[in-house]
Amino acid sequence: MVCRSAPMGAILYMLQDHDDKPAHECGVFGIVATDADVARLTFFGLYALQHRGQESAGIAVANGRTIRSHKAMGLVSQVFNEENLRPLAGHLAIGHTRYSTTGSSRLENAQPFVVESVLGPLAVGHNGNLTNAATLRQELLTRGVGLTGSSDSEVITQMLAGGEGRTWEEKFKVFMVRAQGAYCLTVLTRDALFAVRDPLGLHPICLGRLGERGWVVASESCALGTIGASFEREIEPGEILMITTEGPRTIAHMPAHKPAECLFEYIYFARPDSLLHGKALHAVRVAQGRELAREAPAEADVVIPVPDSATPAAIGYAQASGLPYSEGLIKNRYIGRTFIQPDDQLRQVGIALKFNALTDNLAGKRVVMIDDSIVRGNTSGPIVRLLREAGASEVHVRVSSPPIRHPCFLGVDMATYPELIAHRLTIPQICEHLGADSLAYLSLEGLIKASRHGDDTFCRGCFTGKYPVDIELVNKEIFELR
């Protein structure tokens, strides 16, 4: 397929629009350790999970009697300091770093949620989305339960705190029967840490060992190495794991008939040094790039990634195609961390706020530009233009995932139908919109083959519109509109 390069006008994107990716989810962390500063270890664990959410962060610590917590809006490094970590003393802790998928970005929705219950204090951190949250929330309100926020995570907390059951084990089982959708939970009581994964296993959570001192759970294995813990295993779909000073114990296992893991964990979300099903995701993404090269070759001189997330796929594409790999774009890795908005003149600079082109590597070259996904299409076009302005004679765009034609309702802020460019336009139309010479996506079959050697136990809702559960929730701010 060949498309003519289209002229583009002034680029008027706000800084936060430059990341044309599915928005992140949340990161959860938990630790039980003797003779250790669990709050400090949780801080560093959350630091390793910062890529999963940048809106708020929090830590709750239990000492066998009470739970103390601190949370605020901002990055982990902005929320915590020596002064507010010092009072968080105990031997059990959970931590959370948030991207809002249900409930807006405000302090009332920051986690962990901490409440009192008939069984004692309770703190909850949640990654995912309940698809029947509206029904469950209404049931709580009807029972007279007061809610201060607008997130499904608060609904989970109140369901556990006031739900049926005489023990925490019974309460978890009742919750898992009622709840639908995606949830990885770290739950803290006065003397135990619980890790819970939904029956479909939509998002990852794993168990690690901190030598002889204790045990750790985290959304991704990359957080384990940060604090010197070793990876033990993934927490299974439908598993309720209880951890005390005596060690971990599975108290229930309620898996679905067929798992449905999120494919975007393999494509983009999880850090490339994290392990899923025993494989480092860097190697999986390299394999995706190789498969893309076999499916969609291009006559070109060089392969470059859109940094940083597409780098492994670009390496794989170069390996399989025989084309040289090079860097064509340098990313300003800190521009997205500022809360200072650009003025009108800087907005017109557009994509150059985030990327600089390496002219010497591009001038006169036919370039294959590898990206891992295109959601709204509002950055790929400006990047193509940037490459042409740097001297590229042709720009062929290759994407290591299929077209995203449907939103996600299971813990990923994927954009709405009108915002999704692949929902509105055909591939030739997208190509023309981007101003590329050609455009091709990895097929769904190729993605599954590269990610798990054909073992198809994935959720593919954002690609096909077929979800593993019934969908009820359709707007992340639904509870604020009532």
Pick the range with the lowest mean pLDDT from 103-107, 121-125, 279-283, 472-476: 472-476
Between these two residues, 15 and 188, which has the higher pLDDT value? 188
Angle at 280 between CA 277 and CA 285, to 5 degrees: 105
Distance separating alpha carbons of residues 311 and 208, to the nearest angstrom: 28
**pLDDT value of residue 164:** 92
Pick the range with the lowest mean pLDDT from 411-420, 445-454, 473-482: 473-482
Is residue 459 a known part of a binding site?
Answer: yes
**pLDDT value of residue 15:** 36
For the chain, the average pLDDT equals: 89
Sign of torsion over alpha carbons 323, 327, 328, 333 = positive
Q: Which two tokens stand for residue 35?
A: 């003779």
Is residue 3 a known part of a binding site?
Answer: no
**pLDDT value of residue 354:** 86
Q: Is the pLDDT of residue 341 over 80?
A: no
Is residue 206 a known part of a binding site?
Answer: no
**pLDDT value of residue 18:** 42
- Banded model confidence at residue 475, pLDDT cuts 50, 70, 90: low
CA distances to 155, 171, 185 from 164, in Å: 14, 6, 18
Residue in the structure block whose two tokens are 């940060």: 226
- Closest among 253, 98, 260, 261 to 176, alpha carbons compared: 253
Pick the range with the lowest mean pLDDT from 164-173, 338-347, 415-424: 338-347
Distance separating alpha carbons of residues 441 and 397, to the nearest angstrom: 9
- Closest among 73, 72, 187, 203 to 130, alpha carbons compared: 203
Catalytic residues: 26
Query: How many CB atoms are closer than 10 A to CB 257?
Result: 6
Report which listed range, 252-266, 313-327, 447-461, is most confident: 313-327
**pLDDT value of residue 13:** 30
Read off the pLDDT of residues 176-204 as tens digits, 9 standing for 90 and up: 999 999 999 999 999 999 999 999 999 99
Bridge partners (DSSP) of residue 296 are none
Task: Calculate what percentage of the chain has a pLDDT beyond 70.
Answer: 87
The arithmetic mean of pLDDT across residues 57-67, rounded, is: 97
Q: Is the peptide bond before 308 cis (omega within 30 degrees of 0)?
A: yes
Q: Is the pLDDT of residue 365 over 50?
A: yes
**pLDDT value of residue 275:** 95
Report which listed range, 12-21, 104-113, 215-224, 262-271, is most confident: 215-224
The arithmetic mean of pLDDT across residues 349-360, rounded, is: 85
- Banded model confidence at residue 4, pLDDT cuts 50, 70, 90: very low
- Give 283-340 as a DSSP string: HHHHHHHHHHHHHS----SEEEE-TTTTHHHHHHHHHHH-PPB---EEE-TTGGG--P
Q: Which residues of 211-233 are buried (b: 16+ CB within 10 A; e: fewer)?
A: eebbbbbbbbbbbbeebebebbe
Is residue 222 a known part of a binding site?
Answer: no
Cβ distance 168 to 193 under 8 Å?
no
**pLDDT value of residue 276:** 93
Q: Is the pLDDT of residue 380 over 80?
A: yes
Provide the whole-model pTM. Answer: 0.90
**Domains located in the chain, CATH noted:** 26-275 (3.60.20.10), 280-464 (3.40.50.2020)
Is residue 17 a known part of a binding site?
Answer: no
Q: Which two tokens stand for residue 313?
A: 């796929």
- Banded model confidence at residue 346, pLDDT cuts 50, 70, 90: low
Residue in the structure block whose two tokens are 């794993």: 206
Cβ distance 361 to 327 under 8 Å?
yes
Distance separating alpha carbons of residues 478 and 476, to the nearest angstrom: 6
CA distances to 33, 45, 187, 220, 427 from 30, in Å: 10, 9, 8, 12, 44
Q: Is the pLDDT of residue 14 over 50?
A: no
Cβ distance 185 to 28 under 8 Å?
yes
Sequence-ordered list of residues with C-beta below 8 angstroms from that of 105, at least 6 positions apart, any chain:
55, 56, 73, 98
Is residue 105 a known part of a binding site?
Answer: no
Note every long-range contact of 322-325, with CB atoms under 8 Å and residues 24 or more positions apart, other chains counting.
323/368
| Torsions phi, psi for 38 (to 5 deg) | -65, -30
Q: Which two tokens stand for residue 442?
A: 């990895």
Q: Is the pLDDT of residue 9 over 50?
A: no
Between these two residues, 29 and 478, which has the higher pLDDT value? 29
